[in-house]
Amino acid sequence: MTRPARGRLARYGFAEGDGRARAADLLGPDGLGLWRPDTQEPAGERAVELLAALSRAADPDLALRQLHRLVEAERRAAGAGRSVAANGAGPTGETTRSPLLDALHDDPGLRRRLIAVLGASSALGDHLVANPHQWSVLATAPDGLAPTAEGRLDLAAAARFTPSTQPVAVLRQAYRLALLRIAAADLTGGRGLEQTMAALSALADATLAAAYEIAVGELPEGTPRPRLAVVAMGKCGGDELNYVSDVDVIFVAAEDDDLAAATLVATRLIHVCGLVAWPVDAALRPEGSRGPLVRTLASHLAYYRRWARTWEFQALLKARPAAGDLGLAREWIDQLAPLVWSAAERPEAVEDVRSMRRRIIENVPPKELEREIKRGPGGLRDIEFAVQLLQLVHGRGDESLRVPGTIPALRALVAGGYVGRADGEALLRGYRFLRGVEHRLQLQGLRRTHTVPTEPAALRWLAAALGYTATPGRSAVEEFRAEWVTHATEVRRLHAKLLYRPLLESVARVPADGLRLTPEAARHRLEILGFADPVGALRHLQALTGGVSRTAAIQRTLLPVLLSEFADAPEPDRGLLNYRQVSDKLGSTPWYLRLLRDEGPVAGRLARVLSSSRYAADLLGREPEALRMLAEDTELTPRPREVLCEGFTAAAARHADPEQATRAVRALRRRELVRLACAD
């Protein structure tokens, strides 16, 4: 082969091959004919466009190699007895192209989508080489629109590309065509993360439904069609599936008479999906792999009422009808809902979720711990467990939190005041970043992985696939690592803050009825708690929680717990009145309610102080910012005499006016009295 010089090619991002066909060979006259060795320039305008597209791929060399293989495969499929080089440069310098190369020139959208896929996924490139005409599914439609990428199966199109008429073979091709379109839209900015996850989940639903029909069609002749529901769980249930994952399901039969046929259908469905796309995992069912694959609705209810553990109810947060008898699936979810939303009232529930997260981390191999974006500290599981525990605890009284997906649930928690805006945004950014990394890692080889590579070449590819570029003083890989560390550190911090929030145990101990502060429910709870004037106390509650402001939303979160604290004191009515007075003074400040919700034991300590000591409550009313001392035990330790004297002297010295100096000393004295009263 005649090789073009490397210098000019380097500007397109191509690298020397190490034992593989080099870019120079593949682009030259004996290759794709895109490069002139004599002038060291692209072979015409078409070549310029295609070289520019290749340079923008995550891995230009991979994209080029796959494109060359694809053109060769197209030639072989056409039965031509000539090489790609036979389409070489003509007298004008332009090349006579294969149908694919012509289409890439004529359709900029196809060029962008196909090259992006070839440079980001060796697995999808291999699929296209094995099926060399399927690139056409990425072509721009006659109306100028990009191909749909919503996760729908086009079985008719798949049948045209598939020599076999066997349903499983057609379904396999239909799945790959849909996946190809989703990946192309994802890689070229046609879909955001949430749309991509939803499309992958919709594709899973469609595949489950098609496999279900194949399985039903293979039942022995005369077998009645069973009533069988396929319930999506896990990421699929949450509409947040990634590119390569087991699809978690639970099978539910309507009646005992359906069990035999339903088990045949479920078994065949699992087998078909394994041949077509991914493993189906039914291990979340009652008793796991030791239990029957299919149970009736009644059998499920009996199990969850008597035997289910906290993690099993946590898993049910993501349950969603997917295939089969969707009405039965919805009935199953509705029947189990009261059990799910009372699970947090178990004495051990909050600690169960926390200990489960710790066990997951302990099971990660130590050498992979810092590279694990899913199970490791600061990974996706940190976000998911924090969100799910908050859902279990607060969702008992707030139905807006009863949504299966992580992002919608986190947004609902922020909207309801259970998570601060800044914390919620940080978790959303971290989740999107980590899922983006996961998607690119899995798409490359279409294999299940959640571990960031260590090899320099693999890291360079990953950084490029995620859109990172070098900046002055830092490579693209260093830019990626810096952002990864930032997100992981913040996710780890917020996970600890939310999952181990002391308020959670207190809220979990409040009966579900006590979380719903409707007038009737609130009055009933006030009477039970022993308030002497339930009507007056109700007026305070309505003043604190009325309206749709964020302040009112956070108060609705705090008050059920505070009422229990007030009730344990000698004067609960006095405690609530004092709390309202302090809240009236500080409710509009940005730190007050955030302090009560997020900072350790502050809420409980404040409730005890306000309901136990009129003197301390009066001091707090005049020096409300002293509340910050309740966050730390060290702040409640009395100061030595010499420290106090130095403080008083310094406070007075800052003012020339004797009256102002006196006021400063008195304010400091009140603060110290608050410290002593609260500590006592």
Please check whether residues 89 and 133 belong to one and the same domain: yes
Contact 110, 142 (CB under 8 A): no
* DSSP 8-state class, residue 446: T
| Overall number of domains in the chain | 5
Please check whether residues 497 and 356 belong to one and the same domain: yes
> Distance between terminal CA atoms of the chain?
89
Please check whether residues 533 and 573 belong to one and the same domain: yes
Domain that holds residue 569: 510-631
What residues are paired with 35 via a beta bridge?
42
In the block, residue with structure tokens 């005992």: 256
In the block, residue with structure tokens 């309202």: 580
Please check whether residues 474 and 388 belong to one and the same domain: yes
Contact 658, 666 (CB under 8 A): no
Segment 428-440 shows an average pLDDT of 98
Enter the tokens of residue 164: 């076999």
Please check whether residues 300 and 384 belong to one and the same domain: no
The pLDDT score that the predictor gives to residue 94 is 44
Please check whether residues 15 and 133 belong to one and the same domain: yes
Q: Which of 435, 468, 503 is the last residue of a domain?
A: 503
Segment 93-99 shows an average pLDDT of 57
Please check whether residues 651 and 624 belong to one and the same domain: no
**Could you tell me if residue 277 is inside a domain?**
yes
Higher-pLDDT residue of 346, 437? 437
**Could you tell me if residue 181 is inside a domain?**
no
Q: Of 117, 97, 99, 6, which is closest to residue 47 (Cα–Cα)? A: 97
In whole angstroms, what is the distance from residue 626 CA to residue 217 CA?
Answer: 72
**Could you tell me if residue 166 is inside a domain?**
no
In the block, residue with structure tokens 């509009």: 588
Segment 634-646 shows an average pLDDT of 71
**Could you tell me if residue 42 is inside a domain?**
yes
Cα-Cα-Cα-Cα dihedral sign, residues 474, 475, 476, 481: negative
**Could you tell me if residue 174 is inside a domain?**
no
How many Cβ atoms are within 10 Å of 92's Cβ, its own excluded? 7
In this predicted structure, which of 127-136, 321-330, 473-482, 637-646 has the lowest mean pLDDT? Answer: 637-646
In the block, residue with structure tokens 């924090």: 386
Higher-pLDDT residue of 486, 189? 486
- Put simply, whether the predicted model's pTM sits higher than 0.85 gets the answer yes
Enter the tokens of residue 405: 């997906």
Enter the tokens of residue 676: 């002593």
**Could you tell me if residue 189 is inside a domain?**
no
Q: Which of 453, 485, 503 is the last residue of a domain?
A: 503
**Could you tell me if residue 173 is inside a domain?**
no
* CATH at 284: 3.30.460.10
In whole angstroms, what is the distance from residue 620 CA to residue 266 CA?
Answer: 64
In this predicted structure, which of 25-29, 101-105, 194-198, 359-363 has the lowest mean pLDDT? Answer: 25-29
Contact 458, 59 (CB under 8 A): no
In the block, residue with structure tokens 């360079």: 460
Phi, psi of 31 (to 5 degrees): -115, -120
Enter the tokens of residue 511: 């009966």
Give the tens place of pLDDT for each residue, 500-543. 887 888 888 887 777 776 777 788 888 888 899 999 999 998 89
Task: Flag whether pLDDT at 81 surpasses 70.
Answer: no
Residues 6+ apart with CB under 8 A from 365: none
Please check whether residues 490 and 353 belong to one and the same domain: yes
Enter the tokens of residue 339: 């059990």
Please check whether residues 285 and 380 belong to one and the same domain: no
**Could you tell me if residue 169 is inside a domain?**
no
Share of the chain above pLDDT 70, in %: 93
Please check whether residues 26 and 129 belong to one and the same domain: yes
Q: Of 20, 391, 443, 528, which is closest to residue 244 (Cα–Cα)? A: 443
Please check whether residues 353 and 488 belong to one and the same domain: yes
Phi, psi of 451 (to 5 degrees): -115, 125
What residues are paired with 231 via a beta bridge?
250, 321
Within 342-420, residue ranges assigned H as helices are: 349-362, 380-394, 406-415
Please check whether residues 590 and 564 belong to one and the same domain: yes
Environment class of 215 (CB within 10 Å of its CB; exposed 0-12, middle 13-18, buried 19+): buried
Q: Of 198, 328, 186, which is closest to residue 253 (Cα–Cα)? A: 328
Segment 253-261 shows an average pLDDT of 97
